[in-house]
Structure 1
Amino acid sequence: MKKDFSEALGRHEQRFGQAGLAFAAPARVNLIGEHTDYTGGLVMPMAIGFHTVATIGPREDGRAVFHSENFDEEASYEIASLDSKPEGRWSDYPAGVVWSLRQEGVRIDGFNMTLSGDVPVGAGLSSSASVEVATAMAVLGRAHFALDLKAVASLCRRAENEYVGAKSGIMDQFVVAGGVAQRAMLLDCRSLEFELLPLPAGVRVVIANSMVRHDHATGGYGDRRDEVETGQAVLQRERGIELLRDATLADLEACREKMPAVSYARCRHIITENGRVLEAREALLQGDVKRFGELMVAAHASMRDDFEASCSEVDMIVEIALRQPGCFGARITGGGFGGCTVNLVDVTKTGEFVAAVRSEYRAATGIEADCFVCEASDGALALAKDGTA
C-alpha cells in the first residue's frame, strides 16, 4: 500500500528552507518468538503500517542536525567527531546510526533531517528500530551508498547496542528494513536466514495497546537478558552448547541445580518458545489458524509465568480477547512489562472484537485502550525501491 509523504517533505522544506528526500521505515509486531533473538533463536515478526519518515537535505558545515516533530526538539552533532557518548534522549537513536554508518566506512556529509511519524512510542511496536532504519535509509540515500538487508539491520542494531546502550537483538531492525507485504517473516537470528510465510486471508492481526508501561520496563528487560545469559553460560560450560537456541529441555533439566532458579525459568521460556515458532510455521503453511492461535496462548503463558515479563493489565487484555467470538489467539508482544498484545481475529469479527476489548478493558481498569487492525506491510528497503518515499 502506497503512502503519501508529501506533507513531511513540505514541513521539512518550511523548517530548513530547502527541499529534501523522504525515506520511511515501518513499525513491527512480533507474532510469536519473544526474547529469543539475542540468543540466536527464532522469531516470527511482520512489518505493519505505522511509519517513521526521515526527510533529509544538505548542509555545508559538516554537522548532522535532527529535528523531531514528535518531541518538538532539535539536536546537532559534528559528524567528524561523533563518538559513542549517548545523552539519554531521543536523538541518541539517529545519532547512533550516523556513528554506526561511519564504522561501516560510509562517507557522510553534513545534513538536516526531520523525523516524523505515527509509530506509538513505548508500546512494544519498535519505534526505536523504525527511527534507526529510517535514518539509515535517508543517510545512505543521500550518500548514494547501497547496503543489503543484513548490513542495514546489523548496523542499526549496533547503533542501539553500542551507542544507545540497549541490549536488543536484531529482530526489530531486520523486519523493519526487510518486511514484505502480506507475509510474516520467520527469521533465524543466528544465521540471519529468513523465510516469508503466507498469512491466511480470512484473519487480521489486531494490536491492543494496554496504554501501560511500567517504570521497571527498561531495567526489567536488561535483568531478564542477564538472567538468560547466566543460564546460557552454564549450558555452555556443562553441555558444550554454543547458544541457548541449541539447547533442549533435557539439557536444561540436567543443569537445573547449577544455575539460579530464575535463570532456569527464563531459559525454559526461550527453549520452548523456539519450538513454538517452528510449530507456528507449520500451522501457517497448513493454513491451520486454530493451531496458530493455541501456540500464541501458550506463548503468553510462558512469558507471564516463566519469563515474568507480563503485567496485570496486559494479562487482562489477553483474557478479554480470548473470550470474544472469532479470536483465535492472543498474547503479549514486545519486550514486556506493559505495551501491546497481538491478537489473531476472524476478519468478519474485527469490528466487534475491537469494541468489546476496549469496552471491557475500560470497565475493568478505567483505561482507554488503543486498538489497531493491521496487515503485513513492506519494510524500508521495499518502500525505497518502489519510490513510495
Structure 2
Amino acid sequence: MRQNHTTLINQIKSSFLKIFNKEPILIFSPGRINIIGEHTDYNDGFVFPAAINKGIITAIQKSISEFCTVVAADFNETFEFSLNNIQSIPNGGWKNYLLGVIAEIQKKGIKLEAFNIVFGGDIPVGSGLSSSAALENSIVFGLNELFRLGLTKKEMILISQKAEHNYVGVRCGIMDQYASMFGKKNNALFLDCRSVEANEINIDLKEYQLVLINTNVKHSLSESAYNDRRSVCEKVATMLNISALRDATEEDLLNIKTKISEEDYQKALYVIQENKRVQKATETLKFNDISALGKLLYESHNGLQNQYKVSCPELDFLVDKAKENSNIAGARMMGGGFGGCTINIIAKSATELFIKEISDAYQEKFNKECSVYFVEISEGTHLIKQ
C-alpha cells in the first residue's frame, strides 16, 4: 500500500482511538474506474470496471453506548443515531448511504448491536469514481466482520445496491459495488450484470497508462437524468417484450422505431451498441491491441454525448483535446455523466506534456482548474492487516 494510504490509515485509526478509546477493525474499500460500458449495467448488460488504489478507510468497533456514533473525518461531521429507528434523511448526503446499508441488513432479520465508526478517504467526491459504493461496501464489510454475520461478498454488494436504491434514491446497477468489492490487482472485470459473474482480464497497457482528468464540475441534472434514462430503457424493453435491453438487437429496435420518439430510439440504440463495444474491448486486450481499445473508447464517448445525452461541455472539451493528440489512444467520459472524469489511455512518454497543455487549455476555456489522477488497478474491499 502506498505511503499516502499508510498515512491515511494512521489518521483514521488514531482518530478512532482518540474519540472512542478502543482498538478498531480497519477496512479499505476502493473506488473504481470503468474502462468501457457506461449505463449498460442497469440494462442487464456488460461492463468492464476495475478497482483502483483510491478509496475509503473505515475504522469500526462495538459501542458501549446504546447509540451508534459515526464520524466522517473528511467532512468533519459526527452523526449519532439509534438502531431502533432507521429512516432516510432528506438531503442527508453520506448519512443515507450508511443508514441504507443498516436498514437492508435489518430487513434480512439480522439484529445488530450499537457500533462506532470513523471513516475517510482519498476518492474525490463527484468525480465518478464511485465513492458511494466504496462507502457502502466498507460499512457492510465492516459490520459483517465485527458481528460475524456470515454474509457472502455477493450478499454484501446487493445490500449496498439496495441501500442506494431505497435510501439515496438512485436506481443504480450493480457495477460499482461489484468492482469495489471484487477488484483484483492488475485485472479488470468483464462483468455480466445479469448473472453477476465476472471474468478477470489482465491489464497490461505496455507503453501506455491510464490517466483520469476531473472536470471538477457536477451539474445538478445528474440524479434525475439518471433515473429518467433508466425509465426510458425499461419502457423500450417492455415494448420489445423483453426483460432488459441486453436482449435487444438493432433490428428489434428498428421494428418499433415509429412507436417511440427519436430521442428514446437513440438512447436505446446507444445501450445496444455499447454492450457490443464492451465485448469487443475484452477481445482487444487479449491481443494487446491498445489502438483498437482506444477507438472503442472514443466511440463510447460519442454515443454518451450524442445519443444518450449524459455528457457536458467540459467533458466533451477534454475528449476533443485528447482526439487531437496522436499520443492518446483513446478517451471518454466515465460514470453517470454531467461532470466527473474522463478516462484517458496516454503514452507514458507524452503524459507530462499533455497534462500541462490540457490543464492550461481547460483553465482558459472554463476559467476553472481540472484535476489529474494517476491510478493503479488494485484489490477490492478487504481487511487492513495491522
Contact 2:47–2:191 under 8 Å retained in 1: yes
Contact 1:234–1:259 under 8 Å retained in 2: no
Measure the CA separation in 1 of the matches of 2:61 and 2:82.
16
CA RMSD, aligned part only? 1.6
The CA deviation at 1:22 is 1.3
Measure the CA separation in 2 of the matches of 1:149 and 1:348.
39
The CA deviation string for residues 276-306 of structure 1, in whole angstroms up to 9 with x for no partner, is 0000010011110000000000000000011
Measure the CA separation in 2 of the matches of 1:260 and 1:138.
47
Measure the CA separation in 2 of the matches of 1:35 and 1:105.
33
TM-score, scaled relative to structure 1: 0.94
* Structure 1 match to 2:77: 73
Q: Which moved more, 1:38-47 or 1:5-14?
A: 5-14
Q: Aligned pair 1:234/2:235, yes or no?
A: no
In structure 1, which of residues 214, 221, 225 is the aligned counterpart of residue 226 of structure 2? 221
The CA deviation at 1:86 is 5.6
Q: Which moved more, 1:146-155 or 1:329-338?
A: 146-155
Q: Aligned pair 1:192/2:193, yes or no?
A: no
In structure 2, which of residues 18, 28, 35 is the aligned counterpart of residue 31 of structure 1? 35
The CA deviation string for residues 293-335 of structure 1, in whole angstroms up to 9 with x for no partner, is 0000000000001100001111001111222342100000000
The CA deviation at 1:25 is 0.5
* Structure 2 match to 1:211: 216
The CA deviation at 1:73 is 1.3
Q: Aligned pair 1:370/2:371, yes or no?
A: yes
Q: Which amino acid aligns with 2:260?
A: M
* Structure 2 match to 1:330: 331
User: Within 5 Å, which residues of 2 pair with 1:54-69?
Assistant: 54-69=58-73
TM-score, scaled relative to structure 2: 0.95
* Structure 2 match to 1:158: 162
The CA deviation string for residues 45-91 of structure 1, in whole angstroms up to 9 with x for no partner, is 11111111111122133332211112211222211332456653320
Secondary structure in 1 matching 2:48: strand
Measure the CA separation in 1 of the matches of 2:265 and 2:68.
45
Q: Which amino acid aligns with 1:369?
A: C
Secondary structure in 2 matching 1:80: coil
Secondary structure in 2 matching 1:79: coil
Closer, same or farther: CA 325–355 of 1 in aligned 2, 3 Å: farther
Contact 1:107–1:143 under 8 Å retained in 2: no
* Structure 2 match to 1:290: 291
User: Within 5 Å, which residues of 2 pair with 1:163-182?
Assistant: 163-182=167-186
Identity of aligned residues (%): 31
* Structure 2 match to 1:51: 55
The CA deviation at 1:41 is 0.5
Contact 1:86–1:164 under 8 Å retained in 2: no
The CA deviation string for residues 248-268 of structure 1, in whole angstroms up to 9 with x for no partner, is 000001011122322211111
Secondary structure in 1 matching 2:35: strand
Measure the CA separation in 2 of the matches of 1:211 and 1:306.
24
Q: Which amino acid aligns with 1:205?
A: L
User: Within 5 Å, which residues of 2 pair with 1:210-359?
Assistant: 210-236=215-241, 241-359=242-360
The count of corresponding residues between Structure 1 and Structure 2 is 381
**Runs of 5+ unmatched residues, structure 2:** none
**Runs of 5+ unmatched residues, structure 1:** none
Contact 1:230–1:263 under 8 Å retained in 2: no
